[in-house]
Structure 1
Amino acid sequence: MSIYQLGVLAMYLPGKKLEELSFFRKLSVHGQKLGIEVLVFTPDDLDGSMNKINALFFHTPTLKWYRKRVPIPGLIYDRCRYQGVDNFHKISKFRTRYSKLRYLSKPLANKWTMHQILLENAEIAAHLPETVRYSGDKDLLKFLKQHQRVFLKPRNGTGGRGIVRLQSMGDSLFILQGRDPQRRIINAQKVNATQISSRLSGWRLEGRYIVQQGIPLTLKDGRVHDFRMLVQKNGKGQWQITGCAGRVGPKNSVTSNLHGGGTATPMELLLKRRFADMAKINAIKNEAYELGMNVAHFTEEKFGIQCEIGIDLAVDSNGKVWLLEVNPKPSREVFYRIGERETYRNAIVRPLEYALWLLKKKPSDNNE
């Protein structure tokens, strides 16, 4: 019988569907084994008095979801993916109103602010691509002259939405390709300097986008790749690297996100496709793991208590590891897809073990 409760804060997609319901089911099953009742809810599930929720809970004997009206749990695992201004306002309002609740993780910043903060740490800064705020075509073209290949990314985007790659072809010609804000592939097309803005008209780039130095990510077959590392707290409140896996994008895509059609592959296998020397491969892995731990500790130092972070990494042709992005609400499906079932199980269970550690602590022990 469950003696503790963990609230999972989610957000409805159109049609009142929950994006990660399969993950929440696994959380519920593993939570019951640990004595934790997992209650899934959204800001829309608050009742009129604002002190109770109409929560979803998974009933293992019937393998079905049911609802029940309960007080808001005192410990919250925030899994909201904003996907729009309205959702962002909903979750911000909830966290402000219920600021006295305990959360497994404090919110992080957008991509631009995050980059500026990470620059403060010299060891991490050495792995960051040069990044600037988008401020018009003139500065974009200047940046392209410096780096030949750049990425335009929304400051608050997720899942590869609205990411464009521009590659210089010389003579003021560029190859533009990427994904639109609905994640649809934009096939490679030649544009000149004056056509970039018109091609992306309506995207409201200024104030919403960053421009990032492009790291060569293309494999011999023309597909792009990167690596997703998952760093999590364990049942003793200590950071551990749960795992790292490669992601290979679909044909004609500039992103490798699994939600966008990417495929998963073990980290070492993907590195072996590019580097023949095992000593070099091991050095790359060690560098990546050291970077991951540094990012986890520094992120917590700057933003407050964290439960887990996903880190997107790139490795260039010289074997240098680059830090592309820090994700505060990472998925873990990549480990299931490469057949690392134990890693996948750990990825699900560790937030629960960390939650249990927090729930068992005396209030005077909690400094968050």
Structure 2
Amino acid sequence: MKRKKVRIQVQQTGMFSDDRIVMLSDTLVKAWKIPAQTPITLRFGSASQEVKVVPVHQSGVLRVNESLAATWGLLPGSPLCLKYRPVSRVLRIGPLIGVMISRANSANPERPFGTVTAFCRELDVACRLYGAAVYFVTPDELSGQDDMVKGWQYAGRWTNGSFPVPNVIYNRLTSRKFENRPNVQQFLQYAKTQHRTVMFNEMYLNKSDVFDALRKVPGLHMYLPESYLLKSQETLKSMCAKYSTVFLKPITGSLGKGIIRIRRHPDQSYVCHFTNSGGARKQSYGSLTQLCAALSGKIKQQRYQIQQGLSLITVGGRPVDFRALVQRNERGEWNITSIVARTAGNHHFVSNLARGGSLSSVKVALARSNSTASFGGAIKLRRAALAIAKGIESQVTGHFAELGVDLALDVQGRVWLIEVNSKPSKDDNTQLSDKKLRPSVKRIVQYSRYAAKF
């Protein structure tokens, strides 16, 4: 199938009332051998309509009746890709991308999606650049087995509408609670089984499962700090005895929430730092027994991953780590889109921006670290991020097309994996000069076009 980008023109009903007629460039009709005046199938996402193609002299446009455009949510002037399969006589327009977001507020028409509104608008611009259509849908608007979906699109302003089930679903839900809603799961299952919808980043990653999976890949052992699902006090005691610093991380946590750092002093006393909104709360314990007794309640209430502490390079005495955004490209292959350095804020030991961390380029952070360990660091970080993304693909169930891979560089120059995030924050990966459309947003659309076979 050949691909052509066309612009949608909407004809008023008075000009031709039959929504089963579409008009297309006569040169394209002839080149693709599309039968004129003989019924073929027009498809947009899951929607289909039997139509007759009428050749016209104007090139680069597809004219449709306003009734059909309204039913499918097609906007006048929208650039879309057009493909024709002569064997089945199917003319496809798209791709149609559905983005699942957590919530929408119709009372705030300028920013209906809160802090992610700007990203949604940017994604819409990228779709127009590459010939795709996008709408945004919340869990509240999904129902189990409907062929039309209520959602939002940008048409000079944010508007509500109904749309076909999309070719591609991009999961930007920020809560496991939303992901696991019965209506959401029923809709996703229906879309995938009945309409062959491609869904990517379909679930959050569990820290423990990720490390267990990556251990199965021999070439990745070098990046993995010793790490276990914390099931007993015996594991806590053995790790604290083996390493002077260990971290307890909630296996379903994000944004640095709930992380506990444990440090052993030479006199065998221990100091715990607990993350909170103001920085870190400090608590001292005279012995390992006291430490275990104090943490026993938390361990029973929350599942933690216990991880070997690392001696990281620092900038101004503050630890630095690196967030690599790894995405599939227009050929479906993993590529590094960006890597940024994140320096922990004052009174924090985690680097998340939500915890006061700051961004810089990798080059600047490595230079400011004044460490010989930083030599060749940029290349080693890229190599590690790409290998880890491929490891996730080979070992973890689910379809992922973008991953936030958090890495660290220790004082010996060794790269370590901190964690992998399947819902990387768009703020964390903002380019340092973000006046133009971000490459990360373009790549989402490019991959979606590939996944939908456009």
If the TM-score is normalised by the length of the shorter chain, which range does it land in? Answer: 0.7 to 0.9
Structure 1 residue aligned with 2:223: 127
Structure 2 residue aligned with 1:312: 406
In the TM superposition, residue 350 of structure 1 has moved relative to its aligned partner by 0.3
Tell me, yes or no, if the aligned pair for 1:11 and 1:42 is still in contact at 8 Å.
yes
Q: Are positions 1:272 and 2:367 aligned together?
A: yes
Alignment of 1:172-187 (within 5 A): 172-180=268-276, 185-187=279-281
Corresponding residue to 2:439 among 323, 346, 359 = 346
Structure 2 residue aligned with 1:365: none
Can you list the C-alpha shifts for 1:271-297, whole angstroms capped at 9, x where unaligned? 1223455xx645222222111221222
Q: Are positions 1:22 and 2:118 aligned together?
A: yes
Moved more, 191-200 or 248-257: 191-200
Q: Are positions 1:223 and 2:318 aligned together?
A: yes
* Partner Cα separation in structure 2 for residue 283 and residue 340 of structure 1: 27
Corresponding residue to 1:208 among 280, 283, 303 = 303
Corresponding residue to 2:425 among 331, 336, 339 = 331
Q: Are positions 1:11 and 2:106 aligned together?
A: no
Corresponding residue to 1:159 among 255, 266, 275 = 255
Q: TM-score, normalised by structure 2?
A: 0.70
* Partner Cα separation in structure 2 for residue 207 and residue 227 of structure 1: 27
Moved more, 102-111 or 223-232: 102-111
Structure 1 residues 112 and 144, CA, compared in 2 at 3 Å: closer, same or farther? same
Structure 2 residue aligned with 1:301: 394
Counterpart residue identity of residue 200, structure 2: L
* Partner Cα separation in structure 1 for residue 236 and residue 301 of structure 2: 11
In the TM superposition, residue 162 of structure 1 has moved relative to its aligned partner by 0.9
Tell me, yes or no, if the aligned pair for 2:264 and 2:271 is still in contact at 8 Å.
yes
Structure 1 residues 299 and 164, CA, compared in 2 at 3 Å: closer, same or farther? same
Structure 1 residue aligned with 2:65: none
Tell me, yes or no, if the aligned pair for 1:134 and 1:205 is still in contact at 8 Å.
no
Structure 2 residue aligned with 1:103: 199
Residue 143 of structure 1 aligns to a residue whose secondary structure is: helix
Structure 1 residues 328 and 146, CA, compared in 2 at 3 Å: closer, same or farther? same
* Partner Cα separation in structure 2 for residue 319 and residue 13 of structure 1: 45
Residue 224 of structure 1 aligns to a residue whose secondary structure is: strand
Tell me, yes or no, if the aligned pair for 1:167 and 1:175 is still in contact at 8 Å.
yes
Question: Unmatched 5+ residue regions in structure 1?
Answer: 362-368
In the TM superposition, residue 255 of structure 1 has moved relative to its aligned partner by 1.0
Tell me, yes or no, if the aligned pair for 2:104 and 2:138 is still in contact at 8 Å.
no
In the TM superposition, residue 246 of structure 1 has moved relative to its aligned partner by 0.4
Can you list the C-alpha shifts for 1:113-170, whole angstroms capped at 9, x where unaligned? 1101100111111110000121233421221110110110111111111111111113
Can you list the C-alpha shifts for 1:235-270, whole angstroms capped at 9, x where unaligned? 222221112110012111121111222110111111
Tell me, yes or no, if the aligned pair for 1:246 and 1:267 is still in contact at 8 Å.
yes
Corresponding residue to 1:248 among 339, 343, 356 = 343
Tell me, yes or no, if the aligned pair for 1:10 and 1:18 is still in contact at 8 Å.
no
Structure 1 residues 276 and 211, CA, compared in 2 at 3 Å: closer, same or farther? closer
In the TM superposition, residue 221 of structure 1 has moved relative to its aligned partner by 3.4
In the TM superposition, residue 97 of structure 1 has moved relative to its aligned partner by 4.6
Counterpart residue identity of residue 41, structure 1: V
Structure 1 residues 218 and 286, CA, compared in 2 at 3 Å: closer, same or farther? closer
Tell me, yes or no, if the aligned pair for 1:135 and 1:206 is still in contact at 8 Å.
no
* Partner Cα separation in structure 2 for residue 128 and residue 48 of structure 1: 40
Corresponding residue to 1:44 among 140, 165, 170 = 140
Structure 1 residues 332 and 12, CA, compared in 2 at 3 Å: closer, same or farther? closer
Corresponding residue to 1:87 among 178, 189, 192 = 178
Tell me, yes or no, if the aligned pair for 2:103 and 2:139 is still in contact at 8 Å.
no
For the pair shown, the structure with the greater C-alpha radius of gyration is: 2
Counterpart residue identity of residue 100, structure 2: L
* Partner Cα separation in structure 2 for residue 189 and residue 8 of structure 1: 43
* Partner Cα separation in structure 1 for residue 299 and residue 159 of structure 2: 42
Structure 1 residues 276 and 130, CA, compared in 2 at 3 Å: closer, same or farther? closer
Moved more, 194-203 or 32-41: 194-203
Corresponding residue to 2:128 among 25, 32, 37 = 32
Counterpart residue identity of residue 444, structure 2: P
Tell me, yes or no, if the aligned pair for 2:134 and 2:153 is still in contact at 8 Å.
yes
Structure 2 residue aligned with 1:366: none
Tell me, yes or no, if the aligned pair for 1:164 and 1:254 is still in contact at 8 Å.
no
Counterpart residue identity of residue 87, structure 1: F
Aligned-CA RMSD value: 2.8
Corresponding residue to 1:290 among 383, 405, 408 = 383
In the TM superposition, residue 341 of structure 1 has moved relative to its aligned partner by 5.8
* Partner Cα separation in structure 2 for residue 71 and residue 338 of structure 1: 37
Structure 2 residue aligned with 1:68: 161
Question: Unmatched 5+ residue regions in structure 2?
Answer: 1-77, 81-93
Can you list the C-alpha shifts for 1:69-121, whole angstroms capped at 9, x where unaligned? 22321310111122x5x324225554345433211345464111110110011
Residue 141 of structure 1 aligns to a residue whose secondary structure is: helix
Tell me, yes or no, if the aligned pair for 1:230 and 1:311 is still in contact at 8 Å.
yes
* Partner Cα separation in structure 2 for residue 292 and residue 26 of structure 1: 26
Corresponding residue to 1:322 among 391, 416, 427 = 416
Q: Which has the higher contact order (CA 8 A, sep 6+)?
A: 1
Alignment of 1:184-195 (within 5 A): 185-192=279-286, 193-195=288-290
Counterpart residue identity of residue 265, structure 1: S
